[in-house]
Homo-oligomer: A and B are copies of this chain.
Amino acid sequence: MREVIRAKNSGFCFGVERAVHESFGFINSDGRIVTLGPLIHNTDVTKKLTEKGINEISIDEIPSLSEQDTVIIRTHGVSMEVYDELKARKVEIIDLTCPFVINIQKKVRKYHGEGYKIVILGDENHPEVIGINGYCENSAYITKTGNLDIPLKGKVCVVAQTTEKQANWIKLINNIAGTSKEFIAFNTICKATEDRQKSAEELSREVDAMIVIGGKSSSNTTKLYEICKRNCDLTFHIENAKDLEAIKEKIKYAVKVGITAGASTPEWIIKEAMENL
């Protein structure tokens, strides 16, 4: 008898799970349903959405929308400007911004209003950061590395893109502490990635074989694979249940098999693989 154990934190984080789950539930018989940008970076998911008639548009295409249309805002959120543009088009807005991102947007709006200079640790080209910056009239100082090329005087409010690295956060705070007399820091880095890695690490110590599911080009999945491989020789990286065929022979004596999955791997792919095992 084989035992298949799934890592406690694996696959979608809370925000992505909610967004994908809800998106498939929407029906609009009067107009179009569109997402602003891809809902998530997983072609299995976006293909299924397209089959359901939910297509992706860019922000530039908002003027083409009509009152009958429905617009899904993905987990990254959008700036206030974009939100207002959607409202002006009188479309139905389905806001699936991750609650953790909404929290950042609210903090930024509040402290910008109180005269604080906003600093964001993150990638200036990432939609989440672009959206957050929109809550302080695009006035934020944005740094990816935590380095500052200008000294920040006056009151400063610091936040982070949810997927940033803790080490860069510490570096940024260190730099700000050296120049700013008053600052408030919200460490808004989401624990999901860290928790996922921790669960995979623990599980991989207990099992005979370990299966890591996720896109071959997904960096967070590759990282999971590396962590598990250190503890368990029989660790394999697959994209979906079909890939199990190729490794069945190798794990035939494994009694306890562990499963984990990257952040962009939907539930149905994980479940299909588990049943197959």
Contact = CB atoms under 8 A, between A and B. Distances in A.
Nearest to A191: B181
Given A177-B185, A182-B185, A184-B184, 19 more contacts: A170-B174, A170-B177, A170-B178, A173-B173, A173-B174, A173-B177, A174-B174, A174-B177, A177-B187, A180-B187, A181-B186, A181-B187, A182-B184, A182-B186, A182-B187, A183-B184, A183-B185, A184-B185, A185-B185
Nearest to A180: B187
Cβ-closest 6 pairs across A and B: A173-B177, A184-B184, A181-B187, A170-B177, A182-B186, A183-B185
Nearest to A170: B177
A169 interface: yes
Interface of A is mostly: mixed
Interface string A172-200: 01100110111111110000000000000
Interface residues of A, number: 14
A177 to B, nearest CB: 4
Copies of this chain: 2
Nearest to A181: B187
Contacts of A169: 177
